[in-house]
A and B are shown apart, each in its own frame.
Chain A
Amino acid sequence: MTHLEDLPAWAALLTALLVLLGAGLTLLGAVGTLRFRSFYERVHAPTLGTSWGTGAIVLASILCFSVLGSRLVVHELLIGLFITVTTPVTLMLLGRAALYRDRTEGDTTVPPRAILRRALERKGAQLPPPPPSEEA
């Protein structure tokens, strides 16, 4: 606990606030995954932790190490950037996989491909061909 006493009061209080904010948002997202009913609602909940949950804790870490080292330490931004870039990719892949699985099982609660095709044709666009395994 020696290095924490080297921090000036304003930096320590700001770091404490940011760490609590980040962890609290992550906890809210986790409670969301418990309480939401369907997968398509649940897929939104953990993004609370990956957006400002990660952002606040990364900011706290940057603040703490910058004040301790008397120089700007920004390598934690790498984590924030990485999480910001990769989370949408993961969740979009996962959402499409879930939609595909629900459609092949004949689930009537998800919109079928025909609705999408009609909506696109009204705009004059073409639906991309289905994945090859869909016919098999």
Chain B
Amino acid sequence: MSAIILAWSILIAQGMLVIAIACHTYRLIRGPRAQDRVLCLDAIYVCAMLLVLTFGIRTGSSLYFEGALVIAVIGFASSVALAKFLMRGEVIE
């Protein structure tokens, strides 16, 4: 019984995370200015990382953890580069 509850909870949580990504994508497309878009890109990276973590719990494989870590690192690097670009007009000076 508890396994069924857990499986359904993970499924519902994945649905919630997908809806969150959809909300952020709407703001990413609609967002009035460039900084809103960069903010939403960063948030989408975090949501995708959480989604991969829930896949890891669901399948019981620890491989997903490494994927989630890589997504987190790439998200940080890209957001910092984009923020720097907005500030200075170039990434590497």
Whether A49 contacts B46 in the complex (CB less than 8 A), given A27-B20, A61-B56, A61-B65, comes out as yes
Give min CB distance, A71 to chain B, whole Å: 13
Distance, CA A31 to CA B72, complexed state (A): 22
Write out the residue numbers on chain B whose beta carbons fall within 8 Å of the beta carbon of A23.
Answer: 12-14, 16-17, 20, 50, 54
Q: A34 to B54, Cβ gap below 8 A?
A: no
A window 12-46: CB within 8 A of B: 12-13, 15-17, 19-20, 22-24, 26-27, 29-31, 33-34, 39, 42-43, 46
Q: A34 to B26, Cβ gap below 8 A?
A: yes
Distance, CA A98 to CA B36, complexed state (A): 9
A72 interface hit (Cβ, 8 Å) = no
Q: B43 to A46, Cβ gap below 8 A?
A: yes
Q: A33 to B43, Cβ gap below 8 A?
A: yes
Distance, CA A2 to CA B44, complexed state (A): 31
Q: B87 to A96, Cβ gap below 8 A?
A: yes
Distance, CA A19 to CA B54, complexed state (A): 8
Residue total for B at the interface (Cβ-Cβ under 8 A): 55
Q: A24 to B38, Cβ gap below 8 A?
A: no
Distance, CA A58 to CA B47, complexed state (A): 13
Q: B6 to A61, Cβ gap below 8 A?
A: no
Could you list 10 examples of A-B contacts with CB < 8 Å?
A13-B2, A23-B16, A26-B17, A31-B23, A49-B50, A61-B65, A64-B57, A75-B62, A98-B33, A133-B88
Known contacts A23-B17, A46-B39; can you find 10 more A-B pairs with CB under 8 A? A4-B6, A4-B7, A7-B3, A33-B40, A57-B53, A60-B57, A64-B57, A76-B53, A90-B83, A97-B86
- The 6 closest A-B CB pairs, nearest first, are A23-B13, A16-B9, A30-B20, A46-B43, A3-B60, A30-B23
